[in-house]
């Protein structure tokens, strides 16, 4: 429960990355947990009638989030290794992936309530803010460099995941 409190305070800008508990087990759980909302989203899309060509839904639902998380984490770690700041990685990854998980779950809850969809953009803004704070506090990056670094990492991870697990969505198989 202490780590959850720390992450919520981090999201609300009351704590810094260095204040997050150093615990590799919690870090691993945060990384794995952060893949769950993507898994649920892909499963929900399929349940609503969208047929994904070329693979079964289990193949895609499990494959994309796992590959995305592994590649994202490896690229994220490479930034720390390049600056020889590997010791900061556990706290930074816990802060980033933990905050991302909490905010993704909040987004899922918000999406279930009619009329509150606009709050999803507020949550997205908080997620971007947390990502920038992790990079500026842990890697000593400027705000633009932090933003572009996370955008680049996300795009590279998505490219690899979608290359390994192609999803062919055409107009003919979209739900009407």
- Pick the residue with more confidence: 101 or 113? 101
Residue-averaged pLDDT of the chain: 84
Query: Tens digits of per-residue pLDDT, 118-133?
Result: 888 899 899 999 999 9
In terms of average pLDDT, the best of 14-18, 37-41, 61-65 is: 14-18
The confidence score (pLDDT) of residue 6 equals 94
The CA distance from 62 to 86, in Å, is 29
Q: Which two tokens stand for residue 1?
A: 């429960």
Residue 57 clears pLDDT 60, i.e. is over it: no
């Amino acid at each position: 429960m202490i780590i959850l409190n720390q992450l919520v305070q981090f999201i609300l800008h009351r704590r810094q990355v260095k204040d997050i508990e150093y615990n590799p087990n919690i870090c691993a759980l945060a990384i794995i947990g952060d893949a769950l909302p993507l898994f649920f989203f892909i499963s929900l899309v399929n349940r609503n009638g969208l047929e994904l060509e070329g693979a079964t839904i289990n193949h895609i639902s499990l494959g994309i989030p796992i590959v995305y998380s592994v590649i994202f984490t490896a690229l994220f770690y490479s930034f720390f290794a390049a600056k020889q700041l590997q010791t900061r990685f556990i706290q930074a990854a816990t802060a980033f992936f933990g905050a991302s998980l909490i905010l993704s779950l909040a987004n899922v809850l918000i999406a279930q309530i009619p009329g509150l969809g606009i709050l999803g953009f507020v949550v997205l803004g908080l997620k971007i803010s947390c990502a920038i704070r992790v990079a500026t506090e842990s890697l000593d990056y400027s705000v633009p460099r932090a933003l572009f670094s996370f955008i680049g990492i996300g795009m590279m991870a998505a490219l690899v995941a979608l290359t390994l697990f192609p999803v062919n969505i055409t107009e003919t198989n979209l739900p009407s």
